[in-house]
Amino acid sequence: MAELQEVQITEEKPLLPGQTPETAKEAELAARILLDQGQTHSVETPYGSVTFTVYGTPKPKRPAIFTYHDVGLNYKSCFQPLFQFGDMQEIIQNFVRVHVDAPGMEEGAPVFPLGYQYPSLDQLADMIPCILQYLNFSTIIGVGVGAGAYILSRYALNHPDTVEGLVLINIDPNAKGWMDWAAHKLTGLTSSIPEMILGHLFSQEELSGNSELIQKYRSIVTHAPNLENIELYWNSYNNRRDLNFERGVCPVMLVVGDQAPHEDAVVECNSKLDPTQTSFLKMADSGGQPQLTQPGKLTEAFKYFLQGMGYMASSCMTRLSRSRTASLTSAASIDGSRSRSRTLSQSSESGTLPSGPPGHTMEVSC
């Protein structure tokens, strides 16, 4: 009998004509993102139905990444550029994520009937336990922008044991004062709802520059088929209460662009939070929506944040450390008579940036 011989066959994926290994890798990544469309669910709550989309599968002993979008947007228009960014794939492979659409903001949502009582931001926060119960998730890391950042913060204050960390972009924790209320009413007399919302999302410099990004989002807001619903969400945001977000609940990363509409509010919020649990990322050249304009920088900062919480310890930090100099500046935090100021610098040739506990300001410039 002829002797049998073991033959090893290696499968190779041939490159298309004119395709390099780098472009092949990018195409494979794009295909994987395209195939992962997520699973959309709706759940009834005491304040109405809420829709959310789940990507990935739960990981043992790991929280879910839980996002909430700003006024005028839905989860796709608010977060898709960030979560589809190449370097973000390392993160989303390690966590299940849940993207919530505020009621009436999901794609294809019908317009609410005249006189519909839209939930307050506090009530929107009270919907979150119904979502987590439906999914059987015990803890989350919240990522919110604007109104969504407020909602997640309110939820964290009410349910601190279920929130491991918060990434809050453009948060304004303060209720509108009388002067703000009067200014808002006067603006409403001369500006349309889309114009006011765009002024909330972007700086005046960005709107005047009318870049391709601004044109895209101006069209999204202005021609939204559910504009009446968006106005209801906008009214709830403008009628928010003070958060009283002064006690340490969990690690927090505050994010804002320089010269963004909410820069002063985020700086004030940073001064009130526990400096040992708070990181403040002020991003240069990012405008009013850093997750749209600078997803690479934000991804890198998010990795640091997760590392500080004990996750992704082996992750490589490359983007900021390889091509830029990042300065970590501890903003003076005033708590009674207590203040602090610390500066760390890391050169771009060092390979990795220092990781450590929260409690500093990270100003990133290109």
Is pLDDT of 37 > 80? no
Over the stretch 48-73, which tens digit does the pLDDT of each residue have? 999 999 999 998 889 999 999 999 99
Q: What is the DSSP letter of 338?
A: B
Give the C-alpha distances (Å, rounded to integers) separating 271 from 129, 247, 268, 277, 343. Answer: 29, 12, 5, 12, 17
- What's the confidence (pLDDT) of residue 24? 64
Of the candidate ranges 53-57, 187-191, 222-226, 246-250, the one whose mean pLDDT is the lowest: 187-191
* Predicted model pTM: 0.79
User: Comparing C-alpha atoms, which of 61, 66, 21, 57 is closest to residue 36?
Assistant: 57
Of the candidate ranges 116-130, 132-146, 236-250, the one whose mean pLDDT is the lowest: 236-250
- What's the confidence (pLDDT) of residue 259? 81
Q: For residues 76 and 93, what is the distance between their CA atoms, to the nearest angstrom? A: 19
More confident site: 277 or 328: 277
User: Comparing C-alpha atoms, which of 140, 37, 141, 29 is closest to residue 89?
Assistant: 29
Is pLDDT of 358 > 90? no
Over the stretch 303-321, which tens digit does the pLDDT of each residue have? 999 999 999 876 555 544 4
- Percentage of the chain exceeding pLDDT 90: 64
